């Protein structure tokens, strides 16, 4: 389920009714500076799609009729997610969009989830400010491997954050462990040696203090 704090609710957004003309839509986009805004039906409850400034400019440059309804240039009509959507599925839905429409349990327009808010949440989850080093650990994709690696690290310190990625080799896992901010370089090196002694590869060590 999407974290509610990430969603910009409808009441805070600039939207357009489906009855607006292309010329009215262009005026709104130029006044607000947005590249696109959601278009809703007459009731203001149903998401119809997005209208983009670039498509309006293109239409106008070709001497297109700007008195046409905004629905003539609607895009992304099927690009929306449920408020109860699995978090992982959002990444595939929002890939090339500045935002994606969010519908409530009655399939009515609830708000939008922006690319930027999603990236900010991921950055916060990375714990850049609370971390010292990020260890990339290669573990076999077998039962107990992640637990064993985590136990070896917690012999020395807590783990601030864990992210698991799938490399090309389906038999292995690439796991990123963020260590606490107070871990010295010497202790980090001891952790790495311990992991290597237990058969884990540590191909990359990122110093968050130097990177940021």
Domain architecture of the chain: domains with CATH: 4-120 (3.10.580.10), 127-211 (3.30.70.260)
Alpha helix stretches (DSSP H) within 2-114: 22-32, 53-61, 87-93
Question: Above 80 in pLDDT, residue 110?
Answer: yes
What lies within 8 Å, CB to CB, of 28 at 6+ separation is 14, 16, 20, 37
Residues 23, 59: contact at Cβ < 8 Å?
no
- The pLDDT of residue 115: 86
Residue entry with tokens 């990359």: 204
**Percent above pLDDT 70 for the chain:** 91
**Percent above pLDDT 90 for the chain:** 66
Residue entry with tokens 């009441």: 11
Q: Which stretches does DSSP call E strand in the chain?
A: 7-9, 16-17, 36-40, 47-52, 80-82, 99-103, 109-114, 131-140, 161-165, 172-180, 201-207
Residue 11 per-residue DSSP state: G
Mean residue pLDDT of the chain comes to 89
Summarize pLDDT for 180-211 with one digit per residue, the tens. 989 999 999 999 999 999 999 999 998 887 75
Instruction: Give the separation between CA 105 and CA 102, rounded to whole angstroms.
Output: 10
- The pLDDT of residue 125: 62
Instruction: Give the separation between CA 54 and CA 48, rounded to whole angstroms.
Output: 18
Nearest CA-CA partner of 20 in 70, 59, 57: 70
Q: What is the mean pLDDT of residues 25-41?
A: 97
Question: Above 70 in pLDDT, residue 168?
Answer: no
- The pLDDT of residue 2: 61
Summarize pLDDT for 63-75 with one digit per residue, the tens. 999 999 999 999 9
SS3 59: helix
Q: What is the mean pLDDT of residues 26-32?
A: 97
- The pLDDT of residue 13: 97
Residue entry with tokens 């799938």: 166
What's the length of the chain? Answer: 212
- The pLDDT of residue 92: 80
Question: Above 60 in pLDDT, residue 1?
Answer: no
What lies within 8 Å, CB to CB, of 165 at 6+ separation is 173, 174, 175, 176
Classify strands 80-82 and 99-103 as parallel, antiparallel or unpaired: parallel
Where b means 16+ CB within 10 Å and e means fewer, 183-206 reads: beeebbeebbebbeeeebebeeeb
Residue entry with tokens 């690319």: 115
pTM: 0.68
């Amino acid at each position: 389920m999407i974290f509610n704090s990430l969603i910009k609710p409808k009441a805070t957004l600039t939207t357009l009714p489906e009855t607006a003309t292309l010329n009215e839509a262009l005026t709104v986009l130029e006044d607000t500076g947005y590249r696109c805004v959601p278009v809703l039906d007459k009731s203001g409850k149903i998401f119809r799609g997005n209208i983009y400034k670039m498509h309006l400019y293109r239409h106008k440059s070709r001497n297109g009729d700007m008195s046409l309804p905004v629905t003539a240039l609607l895009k992304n009509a099927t690009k929306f997610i449920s408020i109860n959507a699995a978090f992982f599925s959002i990444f595939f839905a929002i890939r090339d969009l500045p935002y994606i429409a969010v519908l409530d349990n009655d399939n009515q327009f609830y708000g939008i989830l922006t690319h930027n808010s999603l990236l900010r949440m991921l950055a916060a989850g990375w714990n850049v400010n609370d971390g010292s080093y990020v260890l990339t650990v290669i573990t076999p994709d077998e039962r107990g491997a992640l637990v064993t690696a985590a136990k070896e690290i917690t012999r020395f310190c807590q783990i601030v954050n864990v992210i698991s990625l799938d490399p090309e080799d389906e038999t292995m896992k690439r796991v990123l462990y963020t260590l606490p901010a107070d871990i010295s370089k010497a202790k980090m090196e001891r952790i790495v040696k311990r992991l290597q002694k237990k058969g884990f590869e540590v191909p990359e060590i990122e110093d968050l203090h130097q990177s940021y």
